[in-house]
Amino acid sequence: MASDRPTKDPTPPDGNGGDEPISNEAFVAMHSDPRFTELKRRLYRFIFPMSIAFMAWYLLYVLMSAFGRDIMGTNLFGSVNVALVFGLLQFVSTFGIAVLYTRYANRNFDRSAAELRDELQNGATTQKREDNR
C-alpha cells in the first residue's frame, strides 16, 4: 500500500550537503566576525540576568524551606500551604523563562544566527577573507 506522505530528503539541510567539513580557519574567521560578537552579546544580555534571577528565586525557596518553616507551613486553603505554592511556582517560572527566551531569541538573534551559520557552512566567510587579501 503506497503512502501519500512525502518522503524525507536524505540530504541534510546544512548548505554543503554534509560532504565537506568546515575548516578551522572558517571557524576562527567567524569567531572574530563583529556580527558574531554582537550575536553573543545579545545572547548573554538575556542569559546572565535571567540565570541570576532564577537562581535567586530558587535560593529563596531553599532558604525558606530550611529556615522559614513556620511561614512555609502556613496553610493557605485546605491542605495547600505556602511551601507547596512556592514549589509549584518554581515549575511555572521555569516554563515562563523558556517562553521568554523563545520570544527573545526569535526577536533578537535567530535570523542573524541563521545567516552566519549559512555563511559558515557555504564557505562564504573564507571566501570573503580570501577576497580581502
Q: Please report whether residue 1 resides in a domain.
A: no
pLDDT digits (tens, 9 = 90+) for 38-50: 888 988 999 999 9
54 is a domain residue: yes
* Tens-digit pLDDT profile for residues 86-112: 999 999 999 999 999 999 998 888 888
Residue 47 placed within a domain: yes
Rounded to whole angstroms, the Cα distance separating 81 from 40 reads 42
Q: Which domain holds residue 115?
A: 33-132
Tell me if 109 is assigned to some domain: yes
Residues 6+ apart with CB under 8 A from 125: 26, 29, 30, 33, 119
Contacts of 76 (CB under 8 A, 6+ apart): 82, 85
- 61 inside domain: yes
Predicted confidence band of residue 6 (pLDDT cuts 50, 70, 90): very low
Q: Specify the number of domains making up the chain.
A: 1
Assess if residue 126 is contained within a domain: yes
The answer as to whether 18 is a domain residue is: no
Is residue 116 in some structural domain? yes
